Structure 1
Amino acid sequence: MNRNIRIHPIPNSWYRVCFSKDLRPGEVKPLRYFNKDLVLFRTETGEACIFDAHCRHLGAHLGHGGEVKGEGIQCPYHGWIWDKGGQCNHVPYPHTGCNPTVKIGKWPVAELNGTIFTYYHSEGKAPTWEMPVFPEFYGGEWVSAIQMYKRNVKCSIQEIAENNSDTAHFSHLHGARFGKVLSESLELDGLQRTHIASYEVRIPVISKLLGINEFHTTYQQYGLGCNRNLVSLKANGKTVLEWRLVCMHTPIDKENAEALCVTKLKKFINVPITRFIVELLTKKACEEVDKDAMVWDHKIFLENPPLYKEEHSINQFREWVKHFYSDSEQPEKISFPTTSGSNN
């Protein structure tokens, strides 16, 4: 008897590859995402570019020894220079005729919210939507946590994205101390999914210190690579704290991903106090994501699980996520042998 599961292809979406601050003009970085070798570099005028990693001449990896030359990158092997459009514009030894017409693969890049994103499409098609600007990444009223969550997990990107739709696991795995649901709604706007909910909060320490009795959350999903949780803690209807948890997850291949989360808190009283609170919140958030990661590392994807009415949002998510796969793609069916007489 075989136990069958499904492994999904990598969904078409925008994904984070680097923070802007970590790529200086003239800097080159090798990347490994989407089961591909890539090279990221910033031109001398400051434009971030992503290419297929290997030179189209004789296959050297541009991310290892490649150098930025003006608005292009030079191969470490023979010195060919590829301009930011992916065209070879300089061969540094005597030759006759024009420069080679062969081009190196160039990936779409969007740089906003302090982050460099690239767009993956299984058929190499151009993006059909844009990542939005998040106001908390601009201006001085938000304080960023120094610590952040980052680790590789053995899990498909779809399963990570599905995690926040699985609200039933919040109480058991995370020990969430919410009271009754005050309001809840789900909004689908094309490729953006927004879940809005508010709860009575039961966190004795915070309640005693700040009088907080309501927890409001707006969870926004932008494709499969980025989600943003807008959290407000209220005392008798008045907002006391506003917190942002932004998670940017990137597929390494079909079965592995890089999980990353950053947090920001709106200024509360003054910067030192805000810094103290946001670091506490972030420490707790990292601990909770680690619990999810422990499950992600060892779970399998079941195509038709027995869901209860409290888990209806999982089916809603799975229907929505179909938008991010090409029509020709079907999940890969994998069979695992089980022992004789098993009921699985």
Structure 2
Amino acid sequence: MTHPALPAFPHGWFAVALAHEVAAGAVVARRLCGHDIVVWRTAGGQVRVNDAYCMHLGAHLGVGGWVNGQSIVCPFHGWEYDGSGRCVRIPYEKRPMRVTVAPWHVREQDEAVLVWFHPEGLPPTSEVPALEWTGFAHRSREWTVRSHPQEICENTADGAHFRYIHKFPNVMDVAAREDGDSIWFDLRIRDGEVGERAAGEPVPFEITGRADSNVTAVHGPGMAFNETRAKGRILRNRLYATPTDEGVVRLIGVHSVAFEDGRDPEEHIERTMGWAAFDAWEDDIPIWENKIYRPKPFATHPSEEALVQFRRWYQRWYADAAPDRAGAR
């Protein structure tokens, strides 16, 4: 689904792989904002990202290419490039050519590989906050979705959809707080306001008072985050929304569990990764893939002020974009 009312690609950090997908010596082909890139790890353990095509005759370095020490080798004629993209060796010539396959800014954090994109090629102007992951078990899943990263991250600000898409029994109010390149959301349950069940819908589960704390945020243009603490258990969910082409997003969902009392998270994560993460995201996909973007929603109620605030905040991720005043009164 294309979104003509939105710029095709925001600028910022986007996840192109999980760290375990790029082992030492591995070469992985990816798409990011209409560009073919290659993600690879040197023998010394550093993750590098470069344009995908060899400067010689244009072979794709991620299709048959390999790592030689600190360099990536083209599968076609053996040309080698270092992490900066500079040609350092041509096996059948005395000297390499003075050519470069363009490098991309890359960060490896939170067990993910993040790459910076800017349509004008400008360097990073922000960072994604990193977390401590000692004692956590992780599970991940991926989807390709016809949508836009703003639409996907916007769900964090939409309190009403939790009732109708995710079958929460209560209405959720959301308050937003901006903090530079992050926006935080406080979700509050409206006690006593339980929606009617649809035909065949199971009896609502009880959630009032369960969580000791709940933190929800969007960091940068493409990562929605939630942490819930309850009864000594810490649940963390990350949904990375990475635009690969116009109107196409690669979703990387990561569900993580830890216990404050030292219980082994690997023994318990299977119980929570469905209802707490993957099932919920999959419920959203048909909506994302079949909706249009309305810059000015027909009716934006006071309960949806967080959504309006989110849209205004998100404008920072568009180069030369005019402010979105959707729903302003």
Q: TM-score, normalised by structure 2?
A: 0.85
Alpha-carbon offset, residue 177 of structure 1: 2.2
In the alignment, what sits opposite 1:256? 248
The residue type equivalent to 2:233 in the other structure is L
Q: Note closer, same or farther for the CA distance 1:330–1:173 as it changes in structure 2 (3 Å cut).
A: same
User: 5 Å matches for 1:8-19?
Assistant: 8-19=7-18
The residue type equivalent to 2:61 in the other structure is L
For residues 200 and 240 of structure 1, the distance between their equivalents in structure 2, rounded to whole angstroms, comes to: 25
For residues 34 and 294 of structure 1, the distance between their equivalents in structure 2, rounded to whole angstroms, comes to: 22
Query: 8 Å contact 1:86–1:104 — kept in the other structure?
Result: yes
2:182 to 165, 180, 192: 192
In the alignment, what sits opposite 1:56? 55
Q: Radius of gyration: which is bigger?
A: 1
Q: Which segments of 5 or more consecutive residues in structure 2 lack a partner in the other structure?
A: 195-202, 324-329
For residues 275 and 251 of structure 1, the distance between their equivalents in structure 2, rounded to whole angstroms, comes to: 31
Secondary structure of the residue aligned to 1:174 is coil
User: 5 Å matches for 1:1-344?
Assistant: 5-94=4-93, 99-135=96-132, 137=133, 139-140=134-135, 142-144=136-138, 146=139, 148-178=140-170, 185-199=175-189, 212-214=209-211, 216-233=213-230, 240-267=232-259, 271=263, 274-275=265-266, 277-284=268-275, 285-306=277-298, 307-327=300-320
The residue type equivalent to 1:29 in the other structure is V
For residues 53 and 180 of structure 1, the distance between their equivalents in structure 2, rounded to whole angstroms, comes to: 45
Q: Note closer, same or farther for the CA distance 1:279–1:178 as it changes in structure 2 (3 Å cut).
A: farther
For residues 92 and 101 of structure 2, the distance between their equivalents in structure 1, rounded to whole angstroms, comes to: 20
Cα-Cα RMSD: 2.6
Alpha-carbon offset, residue 268 of structure 1: 6.0
Query: 8 Å contact 1:198–1:214 — kept in the other structure?
Result: no
The residue type equivalent to 1:53 in the other structure is A
Secondary structure of the residue aligned to 1:106 is coil
Q: Note closer, same or farther for the CA distance 1:56–1:330 as it changes in structure 2 (3 Å cut).
A: farther
Q: Deviations over 1:277-328 (max 9, x none)?
A: 532322112222111101111111111112222211121111111101112x
For residues 149 and 94 of structure 1, the distance between their equivalents in structure 2, rounded to whole angstroms, comes to: 45
The residue type equivalent to 2:10 in the other structure is P
Percent identity between the two aligned chains: 28
For residues 230 and 101 of structure 1, the distance between their equivalents in structure 2, rounded to whole angstroms, comes to: 49
Alpha-carbon offset, residue 35 of structure 1: 1.5
Alpha-carbon offset, residue 34 of structure 1: 1.5
Q: Note closer, same or farther for the CA distance 1:206–1:265 as it changes in structure 2 (3 Å cut).
A: farther
For residues 213 and 46 of structure 1, the distance between their equivalents in structure 2, rounded to whole angstroms, comes to: 42
For residues 5 and 90 of structure 2, the distance between their equivalents in structure 1, rounded to whole angstroms, comes to: 47
Query: 8 Å contact 1:87–1:103 — kept in the other structure?
Result: yes
For residues 42 and 266 of structure 2, the distance between their equivalents in structure 1, rounded to whole angstroms, comes to: 34
Query: 8 Å contact 1:81–1:89 — kept in the other structure?
Result: yes
The residue type equivalent to 1:143 in the other structure is A
The residue type equivalent to 2:52 in the other structure is A
Query: 8 Å contact 2:169–2:205 — kept in the other structure?
Result: no
Secondary structure of the residue aligned to 2:5 is strand
For residues 90 and 68 of structure 2, the distance between their equivalents in structure 1, rounded to whole angstroms, comes to: 13
For residues 30 and 4 of structure 2, the distance between their equivalents in structure 1, rounded to whole angstroms, comes to: 30
Alpha-carbon offset, residue 219 of structure 1: 0.9
For residues 256 and 188 of structure 2, the distance between their equivalents in structure 1, rounded to whole angstroms, comes to: 20
Q: Note closer, same or farther for the CA distance 1:180–1:123 as it changes in structure 2 (3 Å cut).
A: closer
Q: Deviations over 1:3-56 (max 9, x none)?
A: x95242211111111111221211111112221111111111111111110011
Query: 8 Å contact 1:243–1:264 — kept in the other structure?
Result: yes
For residues 92 and 280 of structure 1, the distance between their equivalents in structure 2, rounded to whole angstroms, comes to: 53
For residues 180 and 289 of structure 1, the distance between their equivalents in structure 2, rounded to whole angstroms, comes to: 18
Alpha-carbon offset, residue 128 of structure 1: 1.0
Q: Which segments of 5 or more consecutive residues in structure 1 lack a partner in the other structure?
A: 234-238, 332-344
* Count of aligned residue pairs for this structure pair: 309
Q: Note closer, same or farther for the CA distance 1:77–1:9 as it changes in structure 2 (3 Å cut).
A: same
The residue type equivalent to 1:308 in the other structure is H
Secondary structure of the residue aligned to 2:165 is helix
The residue type equivalent to 2:145 in the other structure is V
